[in-house]
A and B are shown apart, each in its own frame.
Chain A
Amino acid sequence: MKARPERWRAVVTYLQVAPLVTVFGAFLVFPIVLITVVSFWDYTEYAIVPDFIWRNYAEVLASAVTYRTYLSTLKFAALTWAITLVLGFTVAYFLAFHVRTLKWQMTLFLICTIPFWTSNIIRMISWIPFLGRNGIINSALMSTGLVHQPLEFLLFSEFSTVLAYVHLYTLFMVVPIFNSMMRIDQSLIEAAGDCCATAWQTICTVVMPLSKPGIAIGSIFVVTLVMGDFVTIRLMSGGQSASVALMISNQLAYLQYPAAAANAVVLLIVVLLIVAAMMKIVDVRKEL
C-alpha cells in the first residue's frame, strides 16, 4: 500500500463511497428534485400535465384545512415528544446508573430494543384487545364498577394515537440518551454526591446537561417520525384525526400528484426547519 501513489488511494476512497452516494442520489435527492418540479405541474382528473403554475402552492397555503392539519400534527408531535422524553430519560437513567453490571445493562437494553425490529402495524393492531369496546381495560373498569358504560375514547381516538406513538417511538429516545449517559464519567456522579448533592440535584446539574446530545438526537427522531406519519394516525385514530402526511397520501389515492407534491414540499421545509432548530443545540457528528 505504501508503494502505491496517493492518487490511487484517493480513487479507492471515492469508489468505496460511490455506491452510497449513488443510492442517495437516485432514490433520495433526485426524487425530491422531481417532487419539487412536479409541484409546479398542472393536473386534470385523468393526467398530470407539465407546466409552471403556482396554483398548487396557492391552494395549499390558502386552505384553512392545511393550517388546521398542521396544528393537529404539531400537537401530536409535541405530546409524543414530551411523553417519550420523560419515559425514555427515566428508562435510560435506570439502565445507565442503577443497573450495576454491564452484562445486565446490555440484557435489559436488548429487551427494550427487540420490539423495534418487529412490525409496527402488528404492534398497532395489538392494542385492539386492550382498548376496544369490549377490551381488557373496559371489562376491568366495568367489573370494578368504576364505569357503567364502556369508555369509547380508548380506541380509535387521539388518545390511542398518542399511545401508539409512544409505544412505537420511545425506543428512539432511550437509545441515544442511554448512549450519552454511558459516556458520563462515574467520578462526576460521585463528586456530586460528595458535595452533598441529592440524587435529584445530581440529575439536574450533572446528568441532564451531559445527556443533552442524546436528548437532541432522540427528539429529532421522534418529532420527524410523528411529523411524517400517516399510517399510525389512520389506523389508530379511526379516521377521526388528520396529519399532513395523511393528507398527502389521500391526494395520492386520487392521483392528484402535483397537489400532493406541493404539500410534500411544504412538509419537507417545515420538518427541516424544526430539525435545523434542534441541530443548533448539538453537533450530531461528534456523538458517534
Chain B
Amino acid sequence: MRDGPRPTSFYALAAVFGLFVAFLYGPLLAIVLLSFQGPDGGLTFPMVGWSTHWFAALFEQQRVGDFKGSFLRSLGLGLTVMTLTVTISLAAGLAFRKRFVGSAIVFYLAVASLIVPSILVSLGVGLLFRVLDWETAWWTSGVGAHLTWTLPFGLLIMFAVFNRFSKSYEEAAHDMGANSWQTLRHVVVPIIAPSLVGVALFGFTLSYDEFARSLLTVGTHNTLPLEIYGMTTNITSPALYALGTVTTVFSFLVILGALAAVTIVQRRRERRAPAPAGQRG
C-alpha cells in the first residue's frame, strides 16, 4: 500500500479530505473578507466597496461594547490558566510515573472533568462563591473553572509523553551525580519541552475561547467570548466580523508562535545530536 500507483480510492478520499478542509476554513475566510466591507455594506456578500471602517468601529467603546477591556481580561486569564496548566500537569504527570494509592481515582477525576457538562462547572463554582459570600472574578473563580477544562488535556498529553519516555536519561543523570531537581530541570524538562509547549497552547487557547465555564464565574466584567456573544444579539453590522477577524488573527499568531517554538527546539536538537538514540519527548 505504501508503494506503487495510488488506488482510485485515494482520489475519492483526497476529495473528501479537501472538502472537509474547505468546510473548516471556508466560513472563516468569508468573515475575514466581509470584515473589510465598505461603510454601507451588510452581513452578507456582495462587498459594497472595501474599507477598514468596521475595524475602526471596534475601538470606539460606545459603539460595540468594551472590546479592549474584555480582550485584556481574556489575555490575563488565558496566561494565568496556561502557566498553571503547564505546572500542575507536569507535576501530576511526574507523580503518575510511580504507583501511588488513589491514582485511579485521580485519573477518573480528570476524565470526569472532561465529560461533566460545562454548565455544571459554571453553576457549581458560581454557587460556591455565592454561598461563601465571595465575589466572583476572572482571577479567582474564573481561573478555577477554566482549569477544570484545561487540566485534563494537559494531563492526557503528559501521560502520552511519559509513556514514551525512557528512564535511562534520568538514570544517566543520577549516575553523574545530579540530584532529582537538577535531573528534572536539566534533563527531563528540556527533553519534553516541545510537549510542554503543546500543553501551554491548549491551556491558553482553551481558556481564551471559553464561554460556558466563564458564564457565572468571571464576575461583573465580561471576558472576550462573553462580550462577543453579547454582540451577536445586539450588533448586526460587519463590526461583528471585524471582531471575529481580529480575535482569529490573534489565535493564529498564538498557534503559529507555539508551532515555531516547537520547530526551533527540535531543529536545534537535531543539529546538536545528529542521531538521537532514544525516544524524544
Return the contact of A14 from the options B44, B89, B100 (Cβ within 8 A): B100
Query: Could you say which residues of chain B place their CB within 8 Å of the CB of A268?
Result: 116-117, 120
Confirm or deny: B115 has a beta carbon within 8 angstroms of a beta carbon on chain A: yes
How far does the alpha carbon of A87 sit from the alpha carbon of B87 in the complex, in Å?
Answer: 36
A122, B255: Cβ atoms under 8 Å?
A: no
How far does the alpha carbon of A122 sit from the alpha carbon of B240 in the complex, in Å?
Answer: 9
A28, B148: Cβ atoms under 8 Å?
A: yes
Contacts of A112-131 to chain B: CB distance below 8 A: 112, 114-115, 117-123, 125-130
Task: Give the Cβ gap from B242 to chain A, nearest Cβ, in Å.
Answer: 11
Q: Which residue of B lies closest to A139 (CB)?
A: B45
B91, A249: Cβ atoms under 8 Å?
A: no
A125, B115: Cβ atoms under 8 Å?
A: no
Task: Give the Cβ gap from A97 to chain B, nearest Cβ, in Å.
Answer: 7
A32-B124, A94-B13 known; A288+B119 contact, CB < 8 A: no
Return the contact of B13 from the options A98, A125, A130 (Cβ within 8 A): A98
Query: Could you say which residues of chain A place their CB within 8 Å of the CB of B244?
Result: 119, 122, 125-126
Q: Which residue of A lies closest to B107 (CB)?
A: A285
Query: Could you say which residues of chain A place their CB within 8 Å of the CB of B240?
Result: 125
Q: Which residue of B lies closest to A221 (CB)?
A: B114
How far does the alpha carbon of A26 sit from the alpha carbon of B17 in the complex, in Å?
Answer: 43
Confirm or deny: B67 has a beta carbon within 8 angstroms of a beta carbon on chain A: no
Query: Could you say which residues of chain B place their CB within 8 Å of the CB of A288?
Result: 156, 159-160, 163
Confirm or deny: B128 has a beta carbon within 8 angstroms of a beta carbon on chain A: yes
B44, A132: Cβ atoms under 8 Å?
A: yes
Contacts of A24-76 to chain B: CB distance below 8 A: 24, 26-32, 34-35, 38
Query: Could you say which residues of chain B place their CB within 8 Å of the CB of A242?
Result: none
A10, B43: Cβ atoms under 8 Å?
A: no
B248, A118: Cβ atoms under 8 Å?
A: yes
Query: Could you say which residues of chain B place their CB within 8 Å of the CB of A9?
Result: 98
How far does the alpha carbon of A10 sit from the alpha carbon of B43 in the complex, in Å?
Answer: 60
Confirm or deny: B72 has a beta carbon within 8 angstroms of a beta carbon on chain A: no
B119, A245: Cβ atoms under 8 Å?
A: yes
Task: Give the Cβ gap from A30 to chain B, nearest Cβ, in Å.
Answer: 7
How far does the alpha carbon of A19 sit from the alpha carbon of B159 in the complex, in Å?
Answer: 17
How far does the alpha carbon of A94 sit from the alpha carbon of B14 in the complex, in Å?
Answer: 7
Contacts of B172-216 to chain A: CB distance below 8 A: 174, 179-180, 201-202, 205-206, 208-209, 211-212, 215-216
How far does the alpha carbon of A233 sit from the alpha carbon of B216 in the complex, in Å?
Answer: 19
How far does the alpha carbon of A90 sit from the alpha carbon of B15 in the complex, in Å?
Answer: 11
Is chain B's binding surface mostly helix, strand, loop or mixed?
A: helix
Q: Which residue of B lies closest to A166 (CB)?
A: B23
Scoring A residues 136 to 168 as 1 if CB is less than 8 Å from chain B, else 0, what string do you get? 100100000000000000000000000000010
Query: Could you say which residues of chain B place their CB within 8 Å of the CB of A32?
Result: 116, 120, 124
Confirm or deny: B57 has a beta carbon within 8 angstroms of a beta carbon on chain A: no
Query: Could you say which residues of chain B place their CB within 8 Å of the CB of A1?
Result: 174, 179-180
A26-B144, A167-B24, A227-B117 known; A121+B228 contact, CB < 8 A: yes
Scoring B residues 4 to 33 as 1 if CB is less than 8 Å from chain A, else 0, what string do you get? 001101100110110011011111101100
Q: Which residue of B lies closest to A118 (CB)?
A: B251
How far does the alpha carbon of A12 sit from the alpha carbon of B97 in the complex, in Å?
Answer: 12
Confirm or deny: B275 has a beta carbon within 8 angstroms of a beta carbon on chain A: no
Confirm or deny: A215 has a beta carbon within 8 angstroms of a beta carbon on chain B: no
A90-B13, A111-B21 known; A186+B120 contact, CB < 8 A: no
How far does the alpha carbon of A254 sit from the alpha carbon of B202 in the complex, in Å?
Answer: 34
Confirm or deny: B36 has a beta carbon within 8 angstroms of a beta carbon on chain A: no
Query: Could you say which residues of chain B place their CB within 8 Å of the CB of A85?
Result: none
Return the contact of A24 from the options B89, B113, B179, B211 (Cβ within 8 A): B113
Contacts of B93-120 to chain A: CB distance below 8 A: 94-96, 98, 100, 103, 106-107, 109-120
A248, B88: Cβ atoms under 8 Å?
A: no
Return the contact of B127 from the options A38, A112, A130 (Cβ within 8 A): A38
Query: Could you say which residues of chain B place their CB within 8 Å of the CB of A245?
Result: 117, 119
Scoring B residues 41 to 69 as 1 if CB is less than 8 Å from chain A, else 0, what string do you get? 01111000000000000000000000000
Q: Which residue of A lies closest to B29 (CB)?
A: A126
How far does the alpha carbon of A167 sit from the alpha carbon of B27 in the complex, in Å?
Answer: 10
How far does the alpha carbon of A271 sit from the alpha carbon of B116 in the complex, in Å?
Answer: 8
How far does the alpha carbon of A231 sit from the alpha carbon of B118 in the complex, in Å?
Answer: 11
Query: Could you say which residues of chain A place their CB within 8 Å of the CB of B89?
Result: 20
How far does the alpha carbon of A192 sit from the alpha carbon of B155 in the complex, in Å?
Answer: 37
Query: Could you say which residues of chain A place their CB within 8 Å of the CB of B119?
Result: 228, 230, 245, 248-249, 264
A-B contact pairs, 29 of them (CB 8 A): A1-B180, A21-B106, A24-B109, A28-B112, A28-B113, A32-B120, A34-B128, A35-B124, A91-B20, A93-B13, A94-B13, A98-B6, A100-B2, A112-B21, A117-B205, A119-B228, A120-B209, A120-B211, A122-B247, A125-B31, A126-B28, A126-B30, A127-B27, A228-B118, A235-B232, A248-B119, A268-B117, A272-B115, A288-B160
Given A117-B202, A119-B228, 11 additional A-B pairs, CB 8 A? A10-B100, A17-B92, A19-B87, A28-B112, A31-B128, A112-B24, A125-B240, A228-B116, A260-B123, A267-B120, A268-B116
Closest 9 pairs (CB-CB, A-B): A31-B124, A228-B117, A126-B27, A16-B95, A27-B144, A17-B95, A117-B205, A20-B92, A94-B13
